[in-house]
Amino acid sequence: MRTLTGISLNAGYAEGPIFVFRPEMPVAPPRTAISASEVPAEVRTFRASLAQTRSDLELVQEKFAGNIDDVAIRNVFHAHIHLLTDPAWIDDIERCIRDERITAAAAVHEVTEQWAQRFARMENPYLAERAIDLRDVSRRVLIALEPACVLPIANLAHPSIVVARSVMPSDMVHLDRANTLAIVTEEGGVADHVAIVTRSMGIPGITGVKDVAEKVHTGERAIIDGKEGKLLVAVSKTASRRYHALARRREAERQALEALRDVLAQTKDGHRVRLCANIGDVNDAKLVPAMGAEEVGLFRTELAFLTAQRHPSEVQQLATYRAMAKAAGPVPLTIRTLDLGGDKMLAYDQEPLSESNPLLGRRGIRRSLAEPRTFRRQLRALLRLGAEHDVRVLLPMVVSVSDVVRAREQIAIAADELYRAGHEHRPNLPVGAMIETPSAVLIIDELLPHVDFLSVGTNDLIQYLLVADRTAAAVRDHYTLFHPAVLRALHLVAQAARTAQTPLTLCGELAGFGDMTPLLLGLGFTTLSMAPHEIPVVKRHLAQIRLADAEALAHQTLRLSLRRPVADEARGEVAPSRPAPPPSLGQSGAPAVQTHL
């Protein structure tokens, strides 16, 4: 038996034969020269190929339009349509046709490779991964220009573990979903499109397995352990029995956790803790009552924008929010305003490619305030929803008091617009700030008088404090809760909120890790918001700890961190409650798109 190790994309177990997927990229078209008189026709041919490619992509989108489970796949194609309309890329190709006097196919290939190499050299992981998307789009255009370039698509005759050096995002659509047990690749990142789609499909996934397509062969029997990031090849009967037994235990554990749905969330000594759900689509919302969440602690509103062809209208947004509220049941809703920028781009928006470092560009509330008409359109929908449901408005990426003040001004204007239009609404919705930037932590005392509640977004807060991209495997050891800066920041916010008697929620991946619960509780967080399916796990951990012990652990960890940069160096003193690194960094199964991005 051989064991190949990589980075986890999604937890789970699967056993079956391997199918090695080797998509043959179109051969680079010849650099065929054309005459000056042929240039206009060649440009027209290129433009026609763009139109054909876009039409093909839109047909694929329609295929998934009725299935919310495939939203990640649809997002892939929105991103590709965006690239097809990028004026800089198109202009470079047409200029190449005119100046170099070569065919459209040759120009598409040359310009795309220049762009892709430029993206691949960038240190920003998001932009580096755009090289994959760009080559994928280019391949589609080449197919439209030269149909002989069509590549063979995986044809799964039976359930299989798909192994490949890399899988283009659009190839994921053509894989036989019913027969794809798992996906293992050599190239890719834990935040790229392939990873997102893998999680959307709900199957185990691993990436970063060196030379995997050369080390295994089609037909070999294998087991994938998505949680541990392992592919076991040529497994013995003993190993197979062991993994089957482990899978059965996991299923029994899942059923036991489901039984905790209606059990009150509290510590062993009776201290109540509120457990809330992070949601992004209707499927998530349906899990709110199913998993026993007391409220929606974070409702991400980006989905309605990411899956649209243009900015959703006020009426469209209101319909989406009503559907989510209905699915979640009669619980309070904390709704985050649009958090675009960084690694979330719109198919109909040019901005992501115009910023050299999107993660430090116009993100969150900064972008909303720069586009007040779009912002107020969303605010009007939220104020109207507030007349029907218990709603709170959460502002993302706050860095200053003026962010909150200006946002409140826009809320007041939106309320006045609704009043003049005669729409029923609630003008005075509670307004809170996401604490996910170092600046927000440092001015927490100044922010508190201007907000009704606070939510700490640990994902971004940790990566900005430690300058460690949470999706990058190369720095995963640096992305840790136990750095003194992170612990002090969380403790500072919790103490300030307690003193001001301001409601405080902790969101992000860390809230859902049961092993993390004692430390977070000890730091002062008594309301936690997480992926719905993590709620029973955290509820079980709460029932096993006492508040005094949790506070003692937090005090001990804070003290240790003053001497050492990371608690890993003091594992002997904090090991009983020291959690594993977050799964988004590849140490265990990554949750399905439940991240504060």
CA distances from 425 to 223, 304, 339, 389 (A): 55, 21, 23, 10
What are residue 529's DSSP bridge partners? 276
Amino acid sitting at position 343: D
C-alpha closest to that of 395 among 375, 377, 412, 381: 375
| Whether the Cβ atoms of residue 233 and residue 220 lie closer than 8 Å to each other | yes
User: Tokens 């929803």 map to which residue?
Assistant: 385
Report helix, strand or coil for 593: coil
Helix (H) or strand (E) holding 524: none
Catalytic annotation, pick one of 276, 507, 533, 541: 507
Q: Each residue of 39-57: b (16+ CB within 10 Å) or e?
A: beebbebbeebbeebbeeb
d(CA 396, CA 159): 43
Q: How many CB atoms lie within 10 A of CB 372?
A: 15
β-strand pairing of 504-507 with 333-336:
unpaired
What are residue 300's DSSP bridge partners? 336
- Tokens for 248, please give them: 């059965």
d(CA 6, CA 214): 15
Is 507 designated active site? yes
- Tokens for 317, please give them: 């947004």
Is 193 designated active site? yes
β-strand pairing of 205-207 with 7-10:
antiparallel
Q: How would you classify residue 508: left for phi > 0, otherwise alpha for psi between -120 and 50, otherwise beta?
A: left
Catalytic annotation, pick one of 80, 82, 109, 193: 193
Residues 6+ away with beta carbon under 8 Å from 175: 153, 154, 156, 162
β-strand pairing of 13-20 with 221-225:
antiparallel
CA distances from 569 to 484, 502, 523, 559, 560 (A): 13, 35, 20, 13, 9
- Tokens for 336, please give them: 């985050």
**Gyration radius (Cα) of the chain, Å:** 25
β-strand pairing of 333-336 with 296-300:
parallel
C-alpha closest to that of 459 among 343, 305, 287: 343
Crossing angle, helix 39-64 and helix 71-84, to 10 degrees? 170
Give the residue numbers annotated as catalytic, written as ranges. Answer: 193, 507
